[in-house]
Amino acid sequence: MLRAVLPLLCLHLVGARLMKAISYGPVPLKAAGRIPQDDWMVEAAKPMWGPRGRDDLHVMKQLGANTVRLYGNNPNQSHEGFLDEAHRQELKVVAGMSDFRYIQMDPGRCIETDYDCFNQSRDSYALNLKTGFLTEYQEYHPALAYFILINEPDLKMPSTSTTVAGGPEQMARAVVSAFDGLLEAEKMANITGDLINITATFSYAVCIVCEELSYLPALGQMATLVDAMMNPESYGYEPRNNVTEAFWSRWTHSFNTNNPARDLKAQFFDRYPEHFPSTPVFVAEYHSVILQYLTPVVTLQEDLAEVIDMANTSDLFLGISFFQYQVAYWKGGTEMDFGIFGLGNFLIAEMPYYGHTYDIWCLEPQVSHNTPGSTMPQVLTEAYDGPGLEYEYLCQPSPNVVPLSQDGFAAIAAQGAGRLGVFARRVVEHLGGMVVSTTELEAFAAQYVTDSGRTFAEMVSAIAQKPPWTSFSAQAACVSDRAADAGQVGAAIAWLCGHTPGFSCDVPDDCSQDAFSTGDWLFSRWYLRNGHDPLQDCSFGGAAIFASPDTPAGRAAAACAVVVPRRLEVMV
């Protein structure tokens, strides 16, 4: 059935930078167990990835990552907040389609429709496009770089894809039809602008029943898929869209492996350019835990340097996603060997998530067992050339999280001027201002560390005098704090509407699309009538902020908020 791969048509690399990704599946459990969902891009998971929580996306940035690879995906939920925060951290996102519609949905799952996944993929991706993947201009969100149609289809579509005759054809039909469904969803959405690249991430299994490259890991599956993309009818599928043309312009190969770099070179990358000269490839899970058993022993530091050098010297190898961000306590056994971080005992936040509430614990660096004297974050930071983390503060109160009060001030003042500067910036922004000189902000904060004997009230009073390193707007408004999570904002709205006699909670349709816009309307109008002090009257338990229109929160709220005449009467 296999035909010769077409000659080089175009080299569709996405950007010029090396992919330095981290695989992100931070299940918030410290022991074996199950969770109702595994979508960490949703607003409900913000206590883990957001700045008012554990700030995982910023941690990845400090490690040197420029990309984050995701797994679960509930298309009914918005992913806009996650994408916005990733973009703010200058991280690209590799999202993926959940297995639900392939193997779990009942009825109608793809394994029961003869591996024709067109409808399942179309319907799922159409929802993704409506819940954050697209901007208001029907363009892809700038943080999105790749979309994984399915993770390891060769192990599940069917499970015998690599070992039983007929399996490779079923697997290829599933992927081609899912790709066709995605293209149909894009067409229905009338997408404009640049399109993202698409992939299916294979395992590193050897496909012994594939007709071509049946003796090399992953390559046989890729060769079968390419042939199916060129000749879908031969695989029992009649596409609605031109999948062949879309494949040549948008497809990227990918695979998962726990083999070391020395294996990948001989088994995969020495052969890949010959067979796939126009299609780039990346490793969607990379981390070998057997390095200490090799002869001679290879450290993780050496192995990462080797694989990154391979990517830097290749025209096709885009890079890796290091597996994985957090120890998988919930899986147990050898799966717990892969985490960059474990979970400590300092409680960061509580996370209501699909009917359950989970404790979000601080991060503890894991030891790199075969790189003496180093932790996993240190090894990855060196490999990814990151600025590094302040490890001593991972399990201490965060200046982005503590309340803007004397207690919060005291906790951060004890941590030094740098951390107190972050806290002081929050105060400025909560009073309706912006910091225009970071250097002067840090000098200001240094005057208020614990040894100074100064108080939070004195800090606020000094900021209220509008020092030259700040800029205050006359158009500030009490609006939803975009650093808070939607559940927190929703709870504040419920409290406001349930405890304020005579206050109207009628919200126009244009401002009731989500909790944030609803909060913009209600918080701003309540403050206009009752507010005097931004710190005390525009907080609502951390859900609101008195924001300048020049800040992200102010800009986002512009359509629904009402500004107040400028008055800065601060009481502490």
CB 440 within 8 A of CB 546: no
Residue 501 tokens, joined:
């006699």
**Whole-number pLDDT of residue 8:** 40
Q: What is the pLDDT of residues 375-396, one digit of tens each?
A: 999 999 999 999 999 999 999 9
CB 175 within 8 A of CB 149: yes
Report which DSSP code applies to 194: P
Say how far apart CA 336 and CA 301 lie, in whole Å. 20
Angle formed at CA 264 by CA 261 and CA 269, multiple of 5 degrees: 125
**Whole-number pLDDT of residue 171:** 98
**Whole-number pLDDT of residue 563:** 86
Residue 567 has pLDDT above 70, yes or no: no
For the chain, the average pLDDT equals 94
**Whole-number pLDDT of residue 53:** 96
* Mean pLDDT confidence for 416-426: 97
**Whole-number pLDDT of residue 16:** 53
More confident residue, 550 or 70: 70
Decide: helix, strand or coil at residue 472: strand
Q: What is the pLDDT of residues 260-290, one digit of tens each?
A: 999 999 999 999 999 999 999 999 999 999 8
Angle formed at CA 453 by CA 447 and CA 459, multiple of 5 degrees: 50
CB 380 within 8 A of CB 390: no
CB 208 within 8 A of CB 157: no
Of 288, 279, 281, residue with least CA distance to 257 = 288
Residue 80 has pLDDT above 80, yes or no: yes
Distance in angstroms between the alpha carbons of the first and the last residue of the chain: 77
Residue 120 tokens, joined:
């399942």
Q: What is the pLDDT of residues 122-146, one digit of tens each?
A: 999 999 999 999 999 999 999 999 9
- What's the CATH number of domain 19-341+367-384, 3.40.50.11540, 3.20.20.80, 3.40.50.10470, 3.40.50.2020? 3.20.20.80
Say how far apart CA 284 and CA 287 lie, in whole Å. 10
Say how far apart CA 31 and CA 354 lie, in whole Å. 19
| Percentage with pLDDT > 90 across the chain | 89
Rounded to two decimals, the pTM is 0.93
**Residue 371 — pLDDT band, cuts 50, 70, 90?**
confident
**Whole-number pLDDT of residue 355:** 93
Instruction: Provide the residue type at 386 as one letter.
Output: G
Q: What is the pLDDT of residues 436-484, one digit of tens each?
A: 999 999 999 999 999 999 999 999 999 999 999 999 988 899 999 999 9
Q: Mapped to the 3 state alphabet, what secondary structure does 237-259 carry?
A: CCCCCCHHHHHHHHECEEEEECC
